[in-house]
Structure formats: C-alpha cells, structure tokens
Amino acid sequence: MPFSDYKTALVTGASSGIGAAIVERLTLEGIEVHAVARNAVKLATLAEKTGCITHTLDVGDLEGITRLAQAQPFDILVNNAGVDRPGSILNADAQGIDALVDTNLRAVLHLCRLVVPGMVERDRGHVINVSSIAAAYNFNGNSTYHATKAAVSMLSRQLRIDVFGKRVRVTEICPGRVATDIFAHVHGDPENSWKKYIEGFELPQASDIADAIAFAIAAPISMNVGHIEITPTLQVPGGLQTTRPQDV
C-alpha cells in the first residue's frame, strides 16, 4: 500500500470543507500533513483535532508558498484551494478574473513547479488536483471558473507526461455538488445558500471526497487512478437548450 511509502503531505484550502476532510483522512494514515489556508482560527481548530501542521497563508502569496515548498520534501501534494465568482464573461470584472486565475490556476502551477521535481528525483510521489465537473461541463454564468478548472484538468493530464518514467502519480478529482459551505462563501449568504443548495438534497459529504482521494493514493504503486468524477446520484450535468433569434 503506497501510504506506507509516503511521509508528508501538503494540502491547500485546508481550513474547511473538502480540504479539512482531506487533512483528517491523511492524518489517520499516519501522514505528516501540512495544512495551508488563510483562516488561522479554523486552522488552529483543525490542528487540535488532527495534529496537522498549519500554515496561515494565501496560496496567491508566491514568496510564501515558495518558502513552504522548499522547506522540506512533500510526498503528496493536494491542490484543493479554490474560489468562485459566478458571472458571465459579459459582466465579469478584472478583480474577479484575477482572483480566480491566481487561486484556481496560478497557485496550482507554481506548487507543481515547486514540489513535483522533488518527487521525480525521489521516484515517489502523488499529486491530487481537486478541480470540478465545471472542468468538463458548462453551466450558465461561471465563465472564468470553467476556464480555470478546465486548465487544471489539462494540467493534470500533462503532468503524467512530464513525469513519465517515474513513480509519480497524478489524480484529478472532479466533484459535483457536495454538502459543504462553499456556496455560502460564494454568495455571502450562509442561511439562504444552505437552504437553496444543500438542504433537502442527497449529496456527497466532504469526507466522501476525502475517501476517494485515499482510495487513489492507496492503490498499488503500479496503478495510477487518473480521474474520478463524483456527483450526487440525483445530479446530472449538461443539457440542451435552443432559442429563437432575438431582435437587437
């Protein structure tokens, strides 16, 4: 089981939701987990619960993540941090585009650049990129989010080519709707967001996503689980719409 071969992990977006669940799951396997997030209070609570090592850090802080990545080797890298600003490109603003690109894509590229070469040198490692079903399917009003997640999806495939010949595995996790507080963060209305997107639905839990990641890591070293799409049974992405021409 590869868990026995791995000692350290770096998890971003670790203070809540899927990220916190991943930290909890990996620490159960005896991994020394370095948890990265901006919320120091939530990180402290997570550290008390799991024994993880916390780093209050924005993944957009290139100097900060560079220092962290160079401080020690990491056997597992989980790129989980992500943000969303719903909106069509027709009404997008520069600040929103930059925020999504910096967190969802730029930070992932830099962390891979900083961590993966060490994995290649040691002939051991696993990169987990948490993207979204938005990487493959289109929803109304999430143009920049779709673009950044699609880029992470392609990066995940390309990394397998970059590390070819080495025992470095790459897994892309593509969740659909999961019962977390992400919608509250996106819409800034925790109570109504929970009622609209979570309450009454049969949804995967954050721990289910963490278990899927554990499955990919625990697979025999001869096996790379490259892509896992996880959606509620009662959620179907896609659809077909047709409209008549509109007078301009």
3-state secondary structure of 48: helix
Sheet of strand 76-79, all strands in order from the earlier edge strand to the far edge: 53-56, 32-37, 8-12, 76-79, 125-130, 168-175, 227-230
Q: What are phi and psi of 101, to 5 degrees?
A: -65, -40
Annotation says 137 is catalytic = no
Catalytic residue selected from 6, 137, 145, 197: 145
Active-site residue numbers?
145
